[in-house]
Amino acid sequence: MKKIVIYILLGLWLAACSNAVTSPEPVDEWPHIYPDYIGVTIPATIAPMNFNCIGGEYERVDVTVTGGKSGEVHVNDKVVSFPQEDWEELLEENQGDSLLFTVSVRQNGKWRQYRSFPMYVSTYPIDYGVVYRKLAPGYEVYSKMGIYERDLSTFRERPLLENTMVPGMCMNCHAFNKTKPDHLSLHIRGKNGGTLMQIGKKREMLDTKTDSTLSACVYPYWHPSGEYIAYSVNNTRQSFHAVKDERVEVLDLASDVLVYYPETHELLLSPLLQKKEVFETFPVFSSDGRKLYFCSAEAKPIPEEYKEIRYNLCSIDFNPEDGTFGERVDTLINAAAMKKSISFPRPSYDGKYIMFTLSDYGNFSIWHKEADLWLMNLQDGTLRPMEEVNSDDTESFHNWSSNSRWFVFSSRRGDGLYTRLYLACMDENGKVSKPFLLPQENPWAYYDRLDCSYNVPEFTSEPVKLERRKVERRIVSRKRVPVEVRE
């Protein structure tokens, strides 16, 4: 028996020796890895930044990660997968410093060692997780989709709601109040349409369509107090381009902006936001709750002049004491004068910036290859493209972390077809780091097989408390709480 144990141990030792890096050939270039994590800045609580080597066939990869302050993690395998506990300890020890990755790859029995690359560990904390919609490609028929929550410190993903619960259901436009999941709005389209609203332990299914509004409430954004929520109401249609590089267009034939007051189930309207000759959409409140920003365009015939419709960024005062609006609309950014169009404005919660998507025309930039992220400084009014994170493909929907030091955005830069989620850091001086793809346990296998797009990412400061079966029963029931327009 002792001899058997000795032989087993000897075999393991010999196998380990055969996989050890011996006499590596130095290569003066970065390793070819997926995702590209070279030089990125990460939060100290992010999941292990596993990666795959993609520089051709290989037998083995060896990675040593050395902390700038202390600590070391070593992996020798086919896939670079860092142990969770070791990774957490390494990041905790090196906050405010860096990690140095040394990658060696064995090909045709010989080792090659690449130039070591850094990864920076920020002192800025990030929120617990990200909630997003994942959906398979589909146009006229609602394919499988769901709202999912991802714990950013691990690879755990859990479904909050999936449309397999209710056939024919489309879920979209979920929103939390400044990353706090105790305030939730979620729009349901289809046979069981309605707006799910959950505030604390109170849950309702609303019918937000009235005789005075174009449609049910669509694109949401909470007031920082949690007492109001802004929506647009949209008459939306889908169209298809005849050229191969332009696929789908979502058209607003008409749209207005309003505010909902959950306490009294009232819609608050302003004639300045209900003009037939103007399209208004994508409302968001300022960080102090005293302004309502939104996108606004001159109405034009559709589809004849759709490519001439360009949205500016506008604002109107809002008084949270009595729920009233200001007397005029101000234009903050005249994008039409730039021959451009703005969508998805998102103010940082510290009141310093507004991030938005800029494209050539229209308001739904998901399929606009030219769409980029831009930043407006609210202190001095300056604008700039976010060249640190933009690519030559679509950058679109985005959101801020609760401390305004991180942001998440969707991009098609990977293959031009599916949107994936990227995260980046912005320091207190507005300096933006290189973005990184949302980590996965085996990233190449995961993303290569994933036939869904990520959509509408929202940070959440803690796990969402959503009782799926109770919500399902609310959705399939015919009971809806009506809303009315405040006179």
Q: Is the confidence at residue 143, as pLDDT, over 70? A: no
Length of the chain in terms of residues written: 487
Sign of CA dihedral 430, 352, 333, 297: positive
Q: Are residues 157 and 109 in the same domain?
A: no
Q: Are residues 75 and 141 in the same domain?
A: no
In a domain, 414, yes or no: yes
The model's confidence at residue 191, banded by pLDDT at 50, 70 and 90, is confident
Concatenating the DSSP letter of every residue in 221-285 gives EE-TTSS-EEEEEEEEEEEE-SSTT--EEEEEEEEEEEEEETTTTEEE--GGG--TTEEEEEEEE
Domain boundary among 63, 89, 121: 121
Residue 190 CB contacts under 8 Å (≥ 6 apart), including other chains: 142, 166, 168, 169, 170
Q: Is the confidence at residue 11, as pLDDT, over 50? A: no
Q: Which is it for strands 41-42 and 117-121: parallel, antiparallel or unpaired?
A: parallel
Q: Are residues 376 and 423 in the same domain?
A: yes
**b or e along 233-271 (b: 16 or more beta carbons within 10 Å of the residue's beta carbon)?**
bbebeeeeeeeeeeeebebbebbbbbbbbbeebbbbbbe
**b or e along 430-448 (b: 16 or more beta carbons within 10 Å of the residue's beta carbon)?**
eebbbbbbbbbebbbeebe
Q: Is the confidence at residue 68, as pLDDT, over 90? A: yes
Domain boundary among 78, 104, 121: 121
pLDDT of residue 256: 96
SS3 content of the chain, % helix, strand, coil (to 5): 10, 45, 45
Q: Are residues 284 and 167 in the same domain?
A: yes
Q: Is the confidence at residue 5, as pLDDT, over 70? A: no
Q: Tens digit of pLDDT for each residue in 405-456?
A: 999 999 999 999 899 999 999 999 999 999 999 999 999 999 999 999 999 9
In a domain, 297, yes or no: yes
Q: Are residues 422 and 346 in the same domain?
A: yes
Q: Tens digit of pLDDT for each residue in 379-398?
A: 999 999 999 999 999 999 99
The rounded distance, in Å, linking the Cα atoms of 249 and 364 is 7
What CATH number corresponds to the domain at position 228?
2.120.10.30
In a domain, 6, yes or no: no
What CATH number corresponds to the domain at position 70?
2.60.40
Sign of CA dihedral 287, 312, 394, 141: positive
Q: Are residues 87 and 206 in the same domain?
A: no
Q: Is the confidence at residue 144, as pLDDT, over 80? A: no
Q: Are residues 75 and 145 in the same domain?
A: no
Span 209-234, mean pLDDT?
95
Contact status, residue 249 vs residue 239, Cβ threshold 8 Å = yes
Domain count, the chain: 2
Tell me the residue range of the domain where 77 lies. 23-121
In a domain, 3, yes or no: no
If phi > 0 it is left, if psi is from -120 to 50 it is alpha, else beta; for residue 289 that is left
Q: Are residues 425 and 367 in the same domain?
A: yes
pLDDT of residue 193: 86
Domain boundary among 121, 152, 169: 121
**E strand or H helix at 18, and its extent?**
helix 2-19
Q: Are residues 49 and 172 in the same domain?
A: no
Residue 116 CB contacts under 8 Å (≥ 6 apart), including other chains: 100, 101, 102, 103
Q: Are residues 190 and 305 in the same domain?
A: yes
Q: Is the confidence at residue 165, as pLDDT, over 90? A: no
In a domain, 55, yes or no: yes
The two tokens of residue 461 are 């400061």
The two tokens of residue 73 are 């993690």
In a domain, 11, yes or no: no
- What secondary structure letter does DSSP report for 153? T
The model's confidence at residue 141, banded by pLDDT at 50, 70 and 90, is very low
Taking CA atoms, 466 is separated from 70, 198, 301, 453, in Å, by 41, 9, 43, 23
Q: Are residues 223 and 324 in the same domain?
A: yes
Q: Are residues 177 and 257 in the same domain?
A: yes
Total-model pTM = 0.93
β-pair partners for 230: 221, 259
Span 174-191, mean pLDDT?
92
Span 460-468, mean pLDDT?
94
In a domain, 17, yes or no: no
In a domain, 220, yes or no: yes
The rounded distance, in Å, linking the Cα atoms of 310 and 297 is 6
The model's confidence at residue 246, banded by pLDDT at 50, 70 and 90, is low
